[in-house]
Amino acid sequence: MGSHGALTQRAVFLDRDGVITRAVVKNGRPHPPDELRDLEILPDVADALTRLRAAGYQLIVVTNQPDVARGTQRRDVVDSMHAHLRALLPLDEIRVCYHDDRDHCGCRKPEPGLLLDAAHEHGLDIRACFMVGDRWRDVEAGRRAGCATVFIQRHYTERQPDDYTVAVDSLAEAADWILCNRA
């Protein structure tokens, strides 16, 4: 390991639904769960996050939750889900964009704002960071931010990412690749 200072210079950014939690797939497209009781952490997640944390990575969830802007989800429900995840998993932070595309904000993936703001606030070397996601928006946000991108293939029937550093089938495989390919 490096000094304590080295621990603050790199992070793994993680999408929420489809990466950490099971997405609700409807007509081949992923959706977030509606209620806390429906939130399911995927089986390999806790171990993968523990291994990444032990290697010195900050673990930062970056998630779009546009259903709040659309009026089909309440912010307090999303907040309760995030409190639950923070209690059970070694996450440093959960950053959320509550906007929809029509808001044209810089934090809604594929825009890189969530990642760049976290990098700035935490003194991260963005080139030493990784973005792990299961949708093209996640991969594109990581690419635009300057991260290596890890695409978890869930075989949704929607647009697939154009370009990524590596494709894997699970967060466990993503962690294996990150730990073997860190700078």
pLDDT 10s digits, 32-79: 999 999 999 999 999 999 999 999 999 999 999 999 999 999 999 999
Q: Measure Cα distances from 128 to 74, 85, 112, 149, 153 in Å.
A: 35, 25, 16, 11, 23
**pLDDT at 101 (0 to 100):** 87
Residue-wise pLDDT for 75-93, tens only, equals 999 999 999 999 999 999 9
**pLDDT at 3 (0 to 100):** 41
Domain residues for the domain of 135 are 4-181
Residue-wise pLDDT for 151-178, tens only, equals 999 999 999 998 999 999 999 999 999 9
**Over the chain, what is the mean pLDDT?**
93
Residue 45 sits in a domain of what CATH number? 3.40.50.1000
pLDDT above 90 covers a percentage of the chain that reads 90
**pLDDT at 6 (0 to 100):** 46
Q: What is the mean pLDDT of residues 138-145?
A: 98
Residues 46 and 52 sit within 8 Å (Cβ to Cβ): no
Q: Which long-range contacts (CB under 8 A, 24 or more apart) does 22-26 make?
A: 23/134, 23/154, 25/154, 25/156
Model-level pTM?
Answer: 0.94
DSSP label at 159?
P
Longest CA–CA separation in the chain, Å: 48
Cα(110)–Cα(59) distance, integer angstroms:
19
User: How many domains is the chain partitioned into structurally?
Assistant: 1
**pLDDT at 5 (0 to 100):** 46
Q: Measure Cα distances from 59 to 28, 29, 91, 139, 144 in Å.
A: 28, 26, 5, 17, 19
- Shortest CA distance to 123 belongs to which of 24, 20, 45, 10? 10
N-terminal to C-terminal alpha carbon distance within the chain: 12
Q: Is the pLDDT of residue 21 over 90?
A: yes
